[in-house]
Amino acid sequence: SDELLLEIGDAIIQNVDEDGMLRASVSEIANLGPYPLEEVEKALRVVQNLDPPGVAARDLTECLRLQLCHLGLENSPTDVIVRDYMKQLQCHQYPEIGRQMGLSPDEVSHHLEIIRRLDPKPGLKYSPDHSTYVIPDVFVVKEGDEYKIILNDDGLPKLRISPTYRRMLEAKEAGSEETRNYVKEKLRSALWLLKSVDQRQRTIYKVAESIVRHQRGFLDHGITQLRPLVLRDVATDIGMHESTVSRVVANKYMHTPRGVYELRFFFHSGITSSMGEAISSVTIKDKIKKMIEGEDPSRPLSDSRIAELLGSDGLPLARRTVAKYREELRIPPSNLRKSVH
């Protein structure tokens, strides 16, 4: 239905970063509902047809191809170069591309010029270039060996029902029946609003409490102890629907002894180590980042080598997963890092 498509589309947009790239897989978005995979794919195509061209792409290749499609160049030689020769493009192996595609140097230059005009980060020009200040919705304070959760009520309007209207109903000269019914209806609406605001705050508290329970290791020891956590875990823990948890964590921030984090920061997939320990993808990315920072500039670590090193550390990871995490960290491949150094 259109309503379902809108709901999934909203979930997709919530997972688009400031560069305009989709930072969640189709299956991860499907799990939020849960939604049927084919409906998520359908909604993704709709979002990818929005402006700016290239938005909600899952990787650089898809981003550039969406823009070429927008220009009417789908399946053109330019599109084929982006689709099949991205590695050669990144390594500047232009003669090799021409040789494999049977193109002259001038023809290759023509297609490269088109590619250079494409935007690898289509969302960036829509992102504010000034600092964004956030006000935490939740404060987590350590008292002794326990963590206490305090909701920030400062941003909420101070709501109360004016006693004037209650007096109007109680007064004998309260006017016509129509007036009394009108005031009664408005009082009911006001009470419903007060109850809704209170319920919202209670839900935020429960979600924050569950996050603190699951991520106690992170609060105590830092990023290396961040555990894998999905919305379903918290939903089950507090007895609420997964979609309710998803709405609660959207655009909410938590102030912790380790800094201010968006609530979504605490939700990540992960793997099980050889010792049977659950390791968050954020922790693995941090390990990859530190490995690359400490590498020999003249001999940068390849994705395969990083996978080997992680494996020897008890973290079995496929090379393509390492490549995915490296790209999400916005770190270029080893051949480009070597040229940078």
pLDDT tens digit at each of 341 positions of the chain: 678 888 888 888 888 888 888 888 888 888 887 888 889 999 999 999 988 899 999 999 999 999 999 989 999 999 999 999 988 888 888 889 999 999 998 899 899 989 988 988 888 877 655 556 778 888 999 888 899 998 887 655 566 666 776 666 666 555 667 776 777 777 777 777 767 767 788 888 899 999 999 999 888 888 878 888 888 889 999 898 888 888 888 888 989 988 888 888 888 777 766 666 667 788 888 889 989 988 888 888 889 999 888 888 888 888 888 898 888 888 888 877 765 43
Instruction: Name the residue with tokens 């978005």.
Output: 29
> In this structure, which topology does domain 2-48 adopt according to CATH?
Arc Repressor Mutant, subunit A (1.10.10)
> Distance between CA 319 and CA 334 in Å, rounded?
13
CATH number 1.10.10.60 given to 270-340: yes
Dihedral of the alpha carbons of 240, 242, 247, 250, in degrees to the nearest 10: 120
**pTM passes above 0.75:** no
Segments making up each domain of the chain, as ranges: 2-48, 60-126, 138-154+191-266, 270-340
* Separation of alpha carbons 238 and 214, rounded Å: 12
Length of the chain: 341
Asked if the domains at 2-48 and 270-340 fall in one CATH topology, the answer is: yes
Phi and psi, residue 68, nearest 5°: -65, -40
